[in-house]
Structure 1
Amino acid sequence: MLCYRKHSLFTKKYYIFKNENEILLGETITKIKYTIKLTPQTVIDWSINQQTKQLNGFWLIWNKKQKFFLMDATTCNIFKQTLNGIVTYGKYSILYEPINSIQYSSFGYIKQLLKMKYLYSRDSYMCKTIKKSIQYTDEDFYYQFEILKQLDHSKILKFKEAYNNNKQYHFIFDYPEGGSLADLIKSKQLQFEEVQQIIKQLISTVSFIHSKGYVHRNLKPEHIFFKELNNLDTLVISEFELGCKLIDFQNKNPTCRIHGYTAPEIKQKIFNQKCDIFSCGVVLYKILTRKDLFDHESNTYDEKMMLHLINQSDIDQQYQNLLRMMLQFNPDLRATADQCLTIINQLSKRTPSFSNILDKSHIDTNSINNEIISIKLNEDLDELSENHDFIQRLPVIQINKRIEMSY
């Protein structure tokens, strides 16, 4: 690749050489003048032709001074693509046109999600903007940058590039055309197989994150998207600003408030990968019931009430069992991502669901003396159908005690 630098009396031509860790600019490979490290701390800014709206060069810092280099549009675009997600850029506004706001939240810091159009290709992207503050600094920005570089996975929203200007940080991602899981939950009641399809992808991705030595710590439906519209197989996870490495747990405490998807042990500053499993369990409950398991305005969790809601809900028994494993308040007893995956892979649809049959039953709780009732559902659906009339004639009963059921 070629670039040019204008001087007062002449224009000098430089060849660009790129190796794994550096960019080299020189008249020849043996006569290098500029050496630029390929790290997130390196800042490169881009220039566009105001008439054509095409890239026409770049700025870099050399010996604490800005140096400008001219390039033709095609070469400059190729050069930029080789640097995307490796170094930090300066101004993003000259390259992107805002379309609309997707989401806004403020949990200790100000964040905004925007749908953007890239001026060069007109492709859509999602821009996450975080305002610089005491709660979110350059250190946090570069830490998140490194996480996104390391976690390159088909089920993690694709990170494209990052910008750092005077007041804000910007992370650019592929745009998820299918919307968020939160929107999907609001729009429809998902079927058994659809729930299995979603939770399997979610837990599988969490397993990958954990295998790389990281933890997400901020999983909820608003941070889970679908790359394609009406295609549940395209689930992706986003929002890693609270993510961290296992070895950094002690000095990377979450800066945002506790919310209804957060594992209870985080309040005691206890961090491990099991906190993601608890969050996934709350997400699963939300998918199944379209209701919140915990009050999102309170950081107080009631374990007995949680078990009551799971036991008395209209949730298929197989998912109830999975929820109990994921939502153990003691993280030592909570299932791992791989253990959850094993159970999810074994899920099989049975109809009618056991909870629907319980709805037609009623028991006086005073007569059972706090006993735990165990009921085994017959796997033979034909036999269940043959006994349907008999079941219909049973007395109407109501179960208010904790119920454990097994197949």
Structure 2
Amino acid sequence: MLLQFQCLRKHLIFDKVYILQCFEKEVFIVENKAKPKYYFELSLKSFIVFHVEQDYFGFSIPYRGKLKLFHANSQKVREFKMLLSGKVLFGDLNQFYLQKHQIGQGAFSYVFMLQNLETKEMVAAKYLSKNWKNKANAERMKEIIKENNIVQSLNHPNIAKIKEVYDKNQDIVILYEFIDGDNLEKYLHDHSTSLSHFDVQSIMRQLILALFYIHQQQLIHRDIKPSNIMIQSNHNIKLIDFGLAAKIGTINNDICGTIGYIAPEVLCITTAQSIYSFKCDMFAVGAIFYKLITSHTLLNDIKDYSNFQLKLDLLKKLNTPESGIDLLQKLLDFNYKTRLSAKEALSHQYFTESLRVSAKKSLQLSQRNIFLANTSQVSQIGTSETQIQNVNIFNQNLNKRFRFSIQSNN
């Protein structure tokens, strides 16, 4: 038993005292030691409203078409709400959160920043319509419950966690931990430059570690793309949006995801039928790897798949380590059988070597070129000792952390 406390149901003539017992998968509300009169399971099929005035004073649950109100000790009600967070549907979102502004929008949802009225904590609220693509409420709810259950089952530092789930009119609102940063798509667009090779290596390692963990749980994300990766100022990442995730072996041969990151075997480029495996996510990782290095999208439309050719000259021009180019080629292998798994990718040489030195060299080379171009002496690079001395001073002042920016010019 996780929690037990006394609660009260007020009546006109006399009040009734009950004992609430909260277990791992269900809640019973019993009168004395009699058979439980009230019961609900811990799932998003269940609904509960917590009541707040000056403090938590009670909760209501549906019973025979009506909401039944129970009063209880404030601290116990708080503990109860904490235990149920993310496991059942809560009601009356506006009692607890203030809506701030929209921070994102997807094909099937939109995201707002909310602030907890009591703690002032920020959360990311994902609004999912109960009615979508002419699906009945029950069918749509199954999809929402599935996404919630998948995320609730995962516990990894690079995967965003669910805090609470609310029923609000025509939407189900899933509250995620707030990540102070942008999605990777916006980050790259706003900066319009490549990250340092060391930062790219760090981001890639985090992403593949998250996928290695997900694949261990026999899950495929199926929508790995930059807009589903949140990046913080310290370049730590969080993977979000598990709306298309599914257990291996339970997937229909439908095509889902985003063009440019969908694996070729899913698009039936070389086969007569879509093939889903863990390797689908790894092709998307390869496409993200390319964009991290070059700031360009690898495949813009379905026609690009047929004419695919990795631009090695561009990668070398951007001083990409040989190990990085090798890893990229193996992640973008059109044959899913020989494409690297997450486990194989993590043991690749690219992740065992330090790129701090190569990042420093890339910084000096790129900034040297920029400096000499600005002084109209590009044709004489490296010929003047004074120029080199000036470049060294320029490098030191511009970026002591050996982080460089290269303007993408495909």
Which TM bucket (shorter chain)? Answer: 0.7 to 0.9
Give CA deviations for 1:227-249 in whole Å, capped at 9, x if unaligned.
xx5322x3211100011111211
- Paired with 2:20 and 2:304, the residues of 1 have a C-alpha distance of 58
Aligned to 1:404: none
Alignment match of 1:347 (pick from 322, 338, 353)? 353
Aligned to 1:15: 19
Report the aligned-residue RMSD. Answer: 2.5
The answer on whether the counterparts of 2:152 and 2:161 sit within 8 Å (CA) in structure 1 is no
Aligned to 1:379: none
- Paired with 1:32 and 1:160, the residues of 2 have a C-alpha distance of 29
AA in 1 matched with 2:250: D
- Paired with 1:310 and 1:95, the residues of 2 have a C-alpha distance of 53
- Paired with 2:45 and 2:312, the residues of 1 have a C-alpha distance of 48
The answer on whether the counterparts of 1:2 and 1:13 sit within 8 Å (CA) in structure 2 is yes
- Paired with 2:353 and 2:142, the residues of 1 have a C-alpha distance of 43
AA in 2 matched with 1:347: E
AA in 1 matched with 2:16: K
- Paired with 2:302 and 2:146, the residues of 1 have a C-alpha distance of 27
Aligned to 2:223: 218
- Paired with 1:332 and 1:259, the residues of 2 have a C-alpha distance of 21
AA in 2 matched with 1:157: A
| 1:107-126 map, 5 Å | 109=108, 111-126=109-124
Give the TM-score of the pair, scaled to structure 2: 0.77
| 1:104-143 map, 5 Å | 104-106=105-107, 109=108, 111-135=109-133, 137-143=140-146
| 1:140-151 map, 5 Å | 140-151=143-154
The answer on whether the counterparts of 2:255 and 2:267 sit within 8 Å (CA) in structure 1 is no
Residue 114 of structure 1: how far off its partner (Å): 0.9
Residue 281 of structure 1: how far off its partner (Å): 0.9
Aligned to 2:90: 89
Residue 43 of structure 1: how far off its partner (Å): 1.6
- Paired with 1:133 and 1:270, the residues of 2 have a C-alpha distance of 29
The answer on whether the counterparts of 1:264 and 1:301 sit within 8 Å (CA) in structure 2 is no
The answer on whether the counterparts of 1:155 and 1:237 sit within 8 Å (CA) in structure 2 is yes
- Paired with 1:13 and 1:306, the residues of 2 have a C-alpha distance of 73
| 1:116-195 map, 5 Å | 116-135=114-133, 137-185=140-188, 186-187=190-191, 189-195=194-200
Alignment match of 1:240 (pick from 239, 242, 263)? 242
- Paired with 1:204 and 1:164, the residues of 2 have a C-alpha distance of 33
- Paired with 1:115 and 1:6, the residues of 2 have a C-alpha distance of 38
- Paired with 2:112 and 2:309, the residues of 1 have a C-alpha distance of 36
Residue 124 of structure 1: how far off its partner (Å): 0.8
Alignment match of 2:52 (pick from 48, 55, 63)? 48
Residue 317 of structure 1: how far off its partner (Å): 2.2
The answer on whether the counterparts of 2:184 and 2:230 sit within 8 Å (CA) in structure 1 is yes
The answer on whether the counterparts of 1:99 and 1:116 sit within 8 Å (CA) in structure 2 is yes
Matched, 1:4 2:8: yes
Aligned to 2:63: 62
Give CA deviations for 1:50-89 in whole Å, capped at 9, x if unaligned.
xx3x433222123443212223443322110000121222
- Paired with 1:282 and 1:173, the residues of 2 have a C-alpha distance of 26
CA pair 331-43 structure 1, distance change in 2 beyond 3 A: same
5+ long unaligned stretches in structure 2? 269-273, 370-381, 384-410
Aligned to 2:263: 263
- Percent identity reads 25
Alignment match of 2:213 (pick from 195, 208, 216)? 208
Residue 282 of structure 1: how far off its partner (Å): 0.9
- Paired with 1:124 and 1:180, the residues of 2 have a C-alpha distance of 17
Aligned to 2:36: 32
Residue 30 of structure 1: how far off its partner (Å): 5.4
CA pair 247-61 structure 1, distance change in 2 beyond 3 A: farther
Residue 262 of structure 1: how far off its partner (Å): 1.9
Give CA deviations for 1:97-143 in whole Å, capped at 9, x if unaligned.
1111111132xx3x111111112322111111112234471121111
Query: Secondary structure of 1:264's partner?
Result: coil
The answer on whether the counterparts of 2:222 and 2:256 sit within 8 Å (CA) in structure 1 is no
Query: Secondary structure of 1:278's partner?
Result: helix
- Paired with 2:199 and 2:335, the residues of 1 have a C-alpha distance of 29
- Paired with 2:309 and 2:154, the residues of 1 have a C-alpha distance of 33
The answer on whether the counterparts of 2:223 and 2:256 sit within 8 Å (CA) in structure 1 is no
The answer on whether the counterparts of 1:224 and 1:235 sit within 8 Å (CA) in structure 2 is yes
The answer on whether the counterparts of 1:17 and 1:29 sit within 8 Å (CA) in structure 2 is no
The answer on whether the counterparts of 2:264 and 2:305 sit within 8 Å (CA) in structure 1 is no
The answer on whether the counterparts of 1:4 and 1:71 sit within 8 Å (CA) in structure 2 is yes
Residue 319 of structure 1: how far off its partner (Å): 1.3
- Paired with 1:254 and 1:43, the residues of 2 have a C-alpha distance of 34
Matched, 1:283 2:285: no
- Paired with 2:24 and 2:308, the residues of 1 have a C-alpha distance of 55
- Paired with 2:156 and 2:314, the residues of 1 have a C-alpha distance of 38
AA in 1 matched with 2:248: L
Give CA deviations for 1:341-391 in whole Å, capped at 9, x if unaligned.
1114223336457xx89xx9xxxxxxxxxxxxxxxxxxxxxxxxxxx99xx
